[in-house]
Amino acid sequence: MTKTIYADVVIAGSGAGASAVGGELAAAGLNVVVLEAGPQRFSPLGTHVRNVYSSEADLSVVGDVIYGEMLTYPSGEAEPVSQIRDLRVSHATGGMFALWMGNCPRPDRGELPAWMDAADWEPYFARASSLMHIDLNGGGQGAMFETLLDRVKRTIGARPQGRDVKPMPVAARRVDGRLKICASDDLFFRDAPVPDTITVMPDCIVQEVLSDGHRATGLRAVDRTNRSEIIEVHADMVVIAGGTVGSPKILAASAIEAGPALGRYIHEHACIGSRVTLKEEIRHLIRDDEPVYSIWVPFCEGKPWQNQLCRFTLSSDGGRLAPGIREVDTSDIFTFVAIDVVPENRFVFDPVRKDPFGLPHVTARYAFTRADRVRIGQALAEHFVIASDVGEMEPGWTPSLYAAGGSTHFMGSCRMGPENDGTSVVDRYGKVWGYDNLFVADNSVIETSNAGNPTFMMVSQALRTADRILGRV
């Protein structure tokens, strides 16, 4: 049976990109229908898992829910994407945006597309900061935090202007005394009652973009719980926001000519992680109920990586703690290293074999370049100096390089570019080349090698897409 719906705009996916575009369009009065492949896990729709399990005591539960229940291989496949062993996503309302940690580093000039004027990003960064409730001092406060921050500043030394060591900007605010991490509910509904201009439909797997030549006419989806039920939404504007794996799959499954860049140029940050017991002079300042914190050493020219010192809410060192050392006496250190963006790193879509969503089964070719490996080595050297300046480097300190995909920041499969020359899928507004009304708005459009957590930049870009749809640019 086919159910037919009419809307001004139809969006595939309900995560960060979808809610940024959808919320802006609905606020402007357009009638928006959102088709999400996964179920509605929490209420209100799209809310963050940390807002459901909100006490400090719940932290380990949050980790179990995220890693044990919510992150899956793309389309719920039983096996990982070949060569990208840790590439996982969340198929539920809110996508990975319901699981993220809220870190929102502002991109360096070198992390933005070289072919775009940096000033073009400023109004979008300002709007995203406001809509996401970004707190520039959200990284932490208190005696221990200030001492640790000062120690890291001394370790890192002089930095280019604006790229000094500082608290990590965090997209969170206090609501009724509780920390609320920004998620899809904030961007879709904006603290107002759910507007009647927006309809989010869970359990609708988008399988195809409907089109007639150079225009998309809507989306066709199948009901996840009853595969004989088909939903067709016909709309003037179509936005694909299924994430870096989901969006190119939908385009590859459709009669859409997206060009040779589709699925290519995939990238993330090589991720190095370690944990140290903080030195005694820092440790003695720690309270039993020391709040979580996050210190940011930004990407900058000459050092294309980002360090972060934090008490990561999801990891526990349990058995590995030295006698007398508590969890709060330790700090996680993460280093995200930018990697080369090359066409050889790519998804390959199988035209015959289908995944559990009925979309093309995907494999990948993915490897570091030699330059990547040299850069990772340089970043590891800095990681070691930070670790040994703030922590006790007793035997057993073990940094690790995460498996591919482990950053949770996969990008690039529908990259944007300045012209339709076969190296990009969408233009600066996220509009698919050759189509008047078909857009992509998620991490898949990010085209420049970068080391900063990408969601803030991507939400900013999605607001630019909304402006284009609204005819504001």
Ligand X SMILES: Cc1cc2nc3c(=O)[nH]c(=O)nc-3n(C[C@H](O)[C@H](O)[C@H](O)COP(=O)(O)OP(=O)(O)OC[C@H]3O[C@@H](n4cnc5c(N)ncnc54)[C@H](O)[C@@H]3O)c2cc1C
> What does the binding site for ligand X look like in residue numbers (CB under 6 A)?
12-18, 35-38, 66, 71, 89-91, 95-97, 99-103, 205-206, 241-243, 246, 250, 357, 408-409, 442-443, 453-455
The identity of residue 212, as a single letter, is D
Nearest to 432 by CA among 209, 120, 268, 245: 209
> At closest approach, how far in Å is the CB of 131 from ligand X?
15
Any alpha helices (H) in 112-197, and if so which ranges? 122-131, 143-156, 184-189
> At closest approach, how far in Å is the CB of 71 from ligand X?
6
If 0-12 CB within 10 Å is exposed, 13-18 middle and 19+ buried, where does residue 152 land? buried
Of the pair 147, 254, the CB lying nearest ligand X is at: 254
Of the pair 49, 156, the CB lying nearest ligand X is at: 49
Residues whose CB falls within 8 Å of the CB of residue 303, separated by 6 or more in sequence, listed in order: 378, 379, 382
Structure tokens that stand for 131 in this block: 């809509």
> At closest approach, how far in Å is the CB of 103 from ligand X?
3
CA pair distance 199, 190, nearest whole angstrom:
15
Of the pair 250, 282, the CB lying nearest ligand X is at: 250
Of the pair 40, 217, the CB lying nearest ligand X is at: 40
Of the pair 279, 354, the CB lying nearest ligand X is at: 354
> At closest approach, how far in Å is the CB of 91 from ligand X?
4
Q: Which residue is nearest to ligand X (CB)?
A: 15
> At closest approach, how far in Å is the CB of 242 from ligand X?
3
CB 180 within 8 A of CB 51: yes
> At closest approach, how far in Å is the CB of 84 from ligand X?
15
3-state helix, strand, coil in the chain (%, to 5): 30, 25, 45
Nearest to 267 by CA among 124, 435, 84: 84
Of the pair 91, 383, the CB lying nearest ligand X is at: 91
Any alpha helices (H) in 36-101, and if so which ranges? 49-52, 59-63
> At closest approach, how far in Å is the CB of 110 from ligand X?
18
Does a cis peptide bond (omega within 30 degrees of 0) precede residue 44?
yes
The identity of residue 234, as a single letter, is H
Structure tokens that stand for 319 in this block: 């058995």
Of the pair 71, 470, the CB lying nearest ligand X is at: 71
Strands 391-392 and 269-278, bridge-based pairing: antiparallel
> At closest approach, how far in Å is the CB of 73 from ligand X?
12
If 0-12 CB within 10 Å is exposed, 13-18 middle and 19+ buried, where does residue 198 land? buried
Of the pair 317, 419, the CB lying nearest ligand X is at: 317
> At closest approach, how far in Å is the CB of 255 from ligand X?
16
Residues whose CB falls within 8 Å of the CB of residue 238, separated by 6 or more in sequence, listed in order: 9, 10, 11, 209, 216, 217, 218, 219, 437, 438, 439
Q: Which helix (H) or strand (E) holds 245?
A: helix 243-252
Of the pair 15, 430, the CB lying nearest ligand X is at: 15
Residue with tokens 């499969």: 413
> At closest approach, how far in Å is the CB of 314 from ligand X?
6
CB 366 within 8 A of CB 341: no
Beta bridge partners of 426: 416, 432
> At closest approach, how far in Å is the CB of 293 from ligand X?
14
Of the pair 219, 286, the CB lying nearest ligand X is at: 219
Of the pair 101, 272, the CB lying nearest ligand X is at: 101
Query: Is the sign of the CA dihedral 234, 235, 241, 247 positive or negative?
Result: positive
